[in-house]
């Protein structure tokens, strides 16, 4: 699988952090839906709600808006000098293009996804992943052949394919679907993801609400956790309902380390994301 949670020891710290920037830069996140839509976390006010009762499914129509966002990362509270950006735009054919880039020291990651929306479902068309620097690899590109139900992968060295499943999405575009489902108050958050040579499931559970203190001010969020069978690593993601469940923060704990990705700034369809109050 392309996403490596346990990089080789020689560059464990940098590759792990840049992965999380990549995950969050694209994260989940990150699409933005219609309506209205972290730097240093120091105060969190837990509201202790019953999430399963709080969120009731809403089948209202969802649309998306273009945006630009920047992120920052810390490892065990120590800031990393690097950049993380993501953008969502619509091309002349009416398709959406989701771009992510992350760079720390001598590592960089770029991801691109092109997709369309049909009946509130993300339909991926093309996905590209590239990693430069130590541990770099040639760009992998996946073409989704929905007519013949195949995923066709290729890079400079080889070409390969395997069967496609209905509802399957790439590692980038599914994040849009997650936000869409959160906005629709869906309780079941399960996604089929296409990797290099397989399709696997990623599950999420809604834990509750928190108000985060951010550089943008206080922001009310919904906290979601990746549901894994093992406890070796735990991952939480915070989304802002006011901003159409836009990504605010990602925290992962594994092997005694804590990796934190935070939204630094974002502009959604020309509107700057702000908190309830300024710091």
If one compares 138 and 157, the residue with the highest pLDDT of the two is 157
d(CA 8, CA 235): 21
CA–CA distance, 85 with 68 (Å, rounded to integer): 7
Return the pLDDT at 18.
52
Number of continuous H segments (helices) and E segments (strands) in the chain: 3, 19
Mean pLDDT, residues 198-222: 95
Give the model's pLDDT for residue 226: 94
Query: d(Cα 131, Cα 141) in Å, to the nearest integer?
Result: 12
Distance of alpha carbon 208 from alpha carbon 222, whole angstroms: 6
Query: What average pLDDT score do residues 249-263 get?
Result: 91
How do residues 151-177 score in pLDDT, each as one tens digit?
Answer: 999 999 999 999 999 999 999 999 999
Please answer whether residues 124 and 144 qualify as being in contact, where contact means their C-beta atoms are separated by less than 8 angstroms: yes
- The residue ranking higher by pLDDT, 47 or 106, is 106
What is the average pLDDT across 82-87? 90
DSSP summary character for residue 276: S
What pLDDT band is residue 193 in, cutting at 50, 70 and 90?
very high
Mean pLDDT of 118-131: 94
Q: What angle do CA 192, 5, 131 make, to 5 degrees?
A: 85
What tens digit of pLDDT does each residue of 60-72 get? Answer: 446 688 999 999 8
What global pTM score does this model have?
0.77
């Amino acid at each position: 699988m392309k996403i490596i949670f346990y990089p080789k020891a020689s560059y464990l710290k940098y590759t792990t952090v840049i992965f999380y920037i990549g995950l969050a830069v694209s994260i989940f996140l990150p699409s933005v839906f219609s309506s209205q839509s972290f730097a240093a976390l120091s105060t969190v006010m837990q509201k202790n709600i019953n999430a399963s009762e709080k969120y009731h499914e809403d089948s209202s129509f969802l649309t998306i808006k273009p945006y630009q966002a920047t992120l920052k990362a810390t490892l065990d509270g120590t800031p990393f000098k690097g950049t993380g950006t993501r953008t969502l735009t619509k091309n002349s054919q009416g398709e959406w293009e989701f771009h992510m880039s992350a760079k720390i020291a001598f590592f960089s990651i770029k991801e691109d996804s092109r997709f369309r929306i049909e009946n509130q479902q993300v339909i991926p068309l093309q996905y590209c992943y590239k990693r430069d620097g130590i541990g770099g690899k040639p760009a992998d590109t996946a073409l989704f052949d929905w007519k013949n139900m195949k995923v066709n992968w290729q890079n400079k060295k080889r070409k390969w394919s395997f069967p496609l499943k209905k509802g399957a999405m790439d590692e980038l575009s599914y994040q849009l679907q997650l936000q869409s489902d959160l906005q629709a108050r869906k309780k079941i958050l399960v996604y089929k993801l296409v990797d290099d040579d397989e399709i696997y499931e990623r599950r999420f559970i809604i834990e509750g609400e928190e108000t985060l203190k951010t550089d943008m001010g206080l922001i009310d969020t919904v906290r979601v956790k990746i549901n894994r069978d093992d406890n070796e690593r735990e991952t939480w993601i915070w989304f802002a309902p006011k901003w159409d469940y836009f990504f605010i923060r990602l925290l992962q704990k594994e092997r005694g380390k804590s990796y934190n990705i935070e939204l630094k700034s974002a502009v959604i369809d020309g509107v700057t994301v702000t908190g309830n109050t300024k710091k």
